[in-house]
Amino acid sequence: MDNNNKKYEKDMVYEIASKHNIIIADEFDKVYINEKPDKKKNTGGDILLILFALPWLLVGIFNLYFGIEDICYFVHTKTICTELVQGEVSDIKQIVSEGRNRKSIFYRPVFSYSYNNEEYTYEARSTSKKREPELGKKVDIYVAPDSPDNVYIPEYKAERENAVFDLLFGGSIITVILLLYFKIRNS
């Protein structure tokens, strides 16, 4: 018998076990209990890991949320936009983002179309590094009959690609953080 184990009468065991969260093993007329070893105490490394992981977790949640929101928006607009009209790319807005040592240029197309003898414009929700579609290009635009300013443009894929990227990127970050958390917790 292990020295850590103590012999107790059965009637006292259940009272002690309930107070101290103890593992109980029966053996004949006596019951032996072995208290669980103390958990590892929190170290500075655990706190640093949490401080490192928390911003990444927030980035993952942010990207996942907006990816899901965008995909829901596209499914909804594709469902309600049923009237096909011919439109064109009337403008391409250029957005310049300057960093420390680099300059990034993004493009956001503006589409013009007419529905029920009224003119409308739609500026894409997201940007792309590619300058496409070309200025003046004719495109098919699906319009919501009840709300003609809601449109679905199958040819402009950058919005859907950005939504899928956000979804995958956010989900990947969250998955990696959770796997690290459970691996550290169980070790």
Instruction: Look up residue 147 and give its amino acid.
Output: S
What is the spatial distance between Cα 127 and Cα 134, in angstroms, rounded to a whole number?
14
Tell me what pLDDT residue 181 has: 79
How confident is residue 30, by pLDDT bands cut at 50, 70 and 90? low
120, 113 Cβ separation under 8 angstroms: yes
Query: Are the C-beta atoms of residues 36 and 22 closer than 8 Å to each other?
Result: yes
Q: Tell me the average pLDDT across 14-31.
A: 59
> In this model, does residue 153 exceed pLDDT 70?
yes
**pLDDT tier at 186, thresholds 50, 70, 90:** confident
Query: In this predicted structure, what is the pLDDT of residue 4?
Result: 47
What is the pTM assigned to this prediction?
Answer: 0.66
- Tens-digit pLDDT profile for residues 50-105: 788 889 999 999 999 999 999 999 999 999 999 999 999 999 999 998 888 888 89
> Are 66 and 164 spatial neighbours (Cβ–Cβ below 8 Å)?
no
| Span 96-144, pLDDT tens digits | 988 888 888 999 999 999 999 999 999 998 888 888 888 999 999 999 9
